[in-house]
Amino acid sequence: MNLNFFKNIKFYYSNLIGTELFSEYEINYFIHNLKNINFNASYNVLNFETFKNNLIIDFNKKPLNFCLDTFLADYKNFNFLLVKNISIETLNDAVLFNSIVDYFLNSNKTIFIPSLSSSNISILNVYDSYTKKCAFPQSYYIEIFKLRLKLLCLTRLIAACETYPKSINFFLHYALQRGFSNDNADTIPENLILNYSNLCQITIKLDKLNKLNFSKKFSFRKLESKNNKYVINLTVYSNFYEIYFNPSLLINKIIAYIAHIKNNFNNIGSDILDISKITKSECRPNADINLSKIQNIAASEIDNPVLIMAGAGSGKTKVIVNKFLYLLNYISPYEILVLTFTNNAVNEIKNRIFKTLNLNDDEFIIKNNLKIYTYHSFFYSLIKIYYKYLGFQNVPEIYAENNYNDNTKKNTFFSENYDYPPYLNNTDGIKSFDDILNYALKLFENDDILTEISKSYKYILIDEYQDLNILSDIIIKKIDYGRGNITYAGDDDQSIYRFNGGDSTNLLSFDLFYPSGKIFLLQSNYRSNETIINFSNNIIKKIDFRYPKLMIQGNNTKNNNTKKITGDLQLKKFYLNFIKTYAANFSVFKSGANNWILINKKTEPKNSVYYDFINLINFKNYTDEIEFNINLLVALLNSGFKTAILTRTIREEIKYKKFLKYYMKMPSKNNLNSKYIKNAFIGTIHKSKGMEFNSVILSNFSSANFPKKDGINNNFGIEHQIKHPFSSFYRLQSNNYKNIDDERRLFYVGATRAKDIIFITYTGDKSVFIDL
């Protein structure tokens, strides 16, 4: 142990800094000294060997159910916690030890005192023996656990021959280069003290848990010295993370503050000032968007890792935007990294931020420089900066595209051309998005590069977390560097990209990685009417392995268009005519009875139902189904309703677009008002993700097409997909990703795009999903 630990105990106790112990003798010596110090300090000993043997992680259908508070209840209310007999032999051991590290990283009371069996072993090496046994991708997650442990050691642990943790030593080294001095006596005081130009004494108080809200806490007093000169006594509130990742920024703020005081010495009194007002002015939110209580709490939680479990239509993007705006109270907009899947989502988030900040066109530079990217464009941007480290002579070009990212697809309304991966004939470029991920991970083998990237971003916001693949999740966690300054937003019920690597286990195992994290459940749907919400709940509740949630109707859901659609007599007339012309039969869904009611199309309804909020139409042949849907699309558009025809495949999408183009060229049939074409969407359910429409037509819901037969019997190549290491903690290992559940999620996503009305069409036998 560090022999000077008890000599400087006030500083270490005040700032939650511990030391390593290397034998049972040192444990006894440490406890003996604790009992003799002149203030009341409590302690406990956690035997990790006993702890891990008594706690086997096994969730049995219950994701997000890791109750760390229960497991550590006997150890949390102590000033010092000695952790001994640390050995990592299994993934279970690794996850449990990470939970202990997570606790210390987020504790405002307890000091970490690790005890090891030999002075030749550092706490940083406890994962090493297990790492040698690990295969990919488990080894990458162990690396992230090691990174979190490293951060704890850098900021909260002193080595045997050091006075300060490495983070503070690094900060002091930089401060001395800038003209500061650290003239502490043999016994260091309770806080870190610096001197500057013989006229200023700086006291740095480390706020242990306040990760972001410290940058504007500078206060000072004027002290008269013996030679009748004033000395500035400056107090700076910071934390371990700023001291380690941004020492130059903190030093520059201190120098700017001192210069401001000197220049205005006679005109200002002792005060706490916002440092941003005397350094670089940053944009600040000047408007607020109405949020529900749970949305507001989720948006303002910045001191713990956050998972926002956001059901369909629950305002996920709204919370992400408001969290970004809330963060602007504490950090620069350029220090916030936001990642999502499509360019449309990037632009939507940017535009909402831009609008709320009320920035004019002259300030477009701010908008264009916000750090809001698609995942792969961000990862590629890192490669473009550090390409020489990867062995490239020039910035590598991309010669292929993955088909689940719609960013580069020619998405004009009538487009029949899709950017499928071209023939790969260049061996010097990047041939797939997987290459981008692998190159990014290779960059992070260099800790200097990783640290440089990590310090650029003080907070990370992750969108559509349920569709993120394992490699992307690892990259993001590495950039966070163990700080937990991160918010994930997603919904496992809307995980529809598993065929392309998306893995909702990332989301469902959030608490295994961040036991101290906060989970916020958003289940108020502000998009759809009550019937559609109940119908969608019935679709998704049949999936066994999911985070249980039940959508309810939000208070401000607008149903004006619902009433307008169902009450439109002209639309009813067209609809009934289409039914008589093309359909074999049709039914409406009654939410109260939770079943379908068959309507006799031969009898014209009087006070009966033409159509309801959810409608099912059967056809004898597929051509009739297509013609019916195109005519219905045109009628709905002409009535002023934003409408989508959603298909299961791109092939079906192309058929519908060709037919509509043909329809519009026939003067005898074409009655589509051109001003409404902007309200039309024809595309796959996958492409509609994140969109919403007044009316949705779900096409080709036949038993042959939905679910896909190979979706039940085969794996779409999924058997070759990387298995998430944490999936081993669930008893449903062989069933938790049933392929028919992927199909059910796809149906759910399609249905929840609708605000007011749904038409489900099929030819032949209906899908088994229809019978709720």
pLDDT in tens, 218-244: 777 766 555 555 677 888 888 888 888
Please say if the pLDDT value at position 636 is more than 90: yes
Fold of the domain spanning 560-770: Rossmann fold (3.40.50)
pLDDT over threshold 90, residue 359: no
Instruction: Identify the pLDDT of residue 118.
Output: 74
560-770 matches 9-156 in CATH topology: yes
**pLDDT tens digits along 390-403:** 999 999 988 754 44
Split at pLDDT 50, 70, 90, the class of 724 is confident
Backbone dihedral region for residue 189 (phi beyond 0: left; psi -120 to 50: alpha; all else: beta): beta
Q: Return the half-sphere exposure (C-beta side, CA atoms, 13 A cut-off) of residue 682.
A: 26
Is residue 454's pLDDT more than 50?
yes
Residue 310 is labelled as binding a ligand: yes
In whole angstroms, how large is the CA radius of gyration of the chain? Answer: 30
Q: Which residue has the tokens 């024809």?
A: 682
What DSSP letter does each residue of 2-45 carry, written as one string?
-TTTTTTHHHHHHTT-EE-B-SHHHHHHHHHHHHHSSS---EEE
- Kindly state the average pLDDT of the residues 138-163: 93
- Lowest average pLDDT, out of 130-144, 157-171, 201-215, 288-302, goes to 201-215
Domain ranges of the chain: 9-156, 166-277, 293-522, 560-770
pLDDT confidence of residue 269 = 56
Residue 518 three-state SS: strand
Confidence at residue 207, expressed as pLDDT on a 0 to 100 scale: 74
Point out the least confidently predicted range of 170-179, 272-281, 397-406, 677-686. 272-281
> Per-residue pLDDT averaged across 356-374, rounded?
74
What is the C-alpha to C-alpha distance for residues 85 and 21, in angstroms, rounded to an integer? 11
| pLDDT level of residue 205 (50, 70, 90 thresholds) | confident
Answer whether residue 556 shows pLDDT above 80: no
Query: How much is the pLDDT for 120?
Result: 65
| Dihedral of alpha carbons 357, 360, 363, 364, sign | positive
Percent of the chain at pLDDT above 90? Answer: 51
114, β-bridge pairs: 83
pLDDT at res. 679: 93
Does the pLDDT value for residue 67 go beyond 80? no
Average pLDDT over residues 506-515: 92
9-156: which CATH topology?
Answer: Rossmann fold (3.40.50)
Q: What is the mean pLDDT of the chain?
A: 83
Q: What is the pLDDT of residues 702-722, one digit of tens each?
A: 999 988 865 544 444 444 467
* 3-state helix, strand and coil shares in percent for the chain, rounded to the nearest 5: 40, 15, 40
Q: Tell me: is residue 683 an annotated ligand-binding position.
A: no
**pLDDT in the model for residue 540:** 94
pLDDT at 663: 85
**Which pLDDT score is estimated for 45?**
95
Tokens of 368: 């264009």
pLDDT at position 746 over 60: yes
Q: Is the pLDDT of residue 768 over 50?
A: yes
Measured over all CA atoms, what is the biggest interatomic distance in the chain, rounded to whole angstroms?
Answer: 106
Q: Is 316 assigned to a binding site? A: yes
* pLDDT number for residue 385: 95
Query: 219 pairs with which residues across the strands?
Result: 235, 272
Between CA 112 and CA 100 the distance in angstroms is: 9
The token pair at 601 is 């199309």
For residues 666 and 659, what is the distance between their CA atoms, to the nearest angstrom?
11
How high is the pLDDT of residue 559? Answer: 55
> Is 187 assigned to a binding site?
no
DSSP output for 260-324: HHHHTTTT--S-EE-GGGTS-------------HHHHHHHH--SS-EEEEE-TTS-HHHHHHHHH
Q: Which residues contact 127 (CB under 8 A, 6 or more apart)?
A: 88, 94, 142, 145, 146, 149
What lies within 8 Å, CB to CB, of 362 at 6+ separation is none
- Residue 586 has what pLDDT? 87
Q: Which residue has the higher pLDDT, 464 or 585?
A: 464
Answer yes or no: is pLDDT of 742 > 70: yes
Collapsed DSSP state (helix, strand, coil) of residue 731: coil
Retrieve residue 715's tokens.
Answer: 């794996």
User: Is 689 annotated as ligand-binding?
Assistant: no
**Higher per-residue pLDDT: 661 or 149:** 149
- The superfamily CATH assigns to domain 293-522 is P-loop containing nucleotide triphosphate hydrolases (3.40.50.300)
Could you give the 3-state DSSP secondary structure of residue 711? helix
Mean pLDDT of 520-539: 95
Residue 369 tokens, joined = 């420089």
Q: What backbone torsions phi and psi does residue 340 show, to the nearest 5 degrees? A: -145, -175
The whole-number average pLDDT for the span 287-302 is: 86
- Separation between Cα atoms, residue 548 and residue 568, nearest integer Å: 38
Buried b (16+ CB within 10 A) or exposed e, 312-333: bbbbbbbbbbbbbbbbbbbbbb
Query: Which carries the bigger pLDDT value, residue 359 or residue 629?
Result: 629
Given this model, what pLDDT does residue 258 score? 84
Q: What angle do CA 44, 50, 55 make, to 5 degrees?
A: 105
Judge whether 761 is annotated as a binding position.
no
Residues 71-87 have pLDDT tens digits of 788 888 899 999 999 99
Q: Looking at the predicted structure, is the pLDDT value of residue 770 above 60?
A: yes
**DSSP calls for 525-560:** ESSS-HHHHHHHHHHHTT-SSS-----EE-TT---H
Does the pTM exceed 0.85? yes
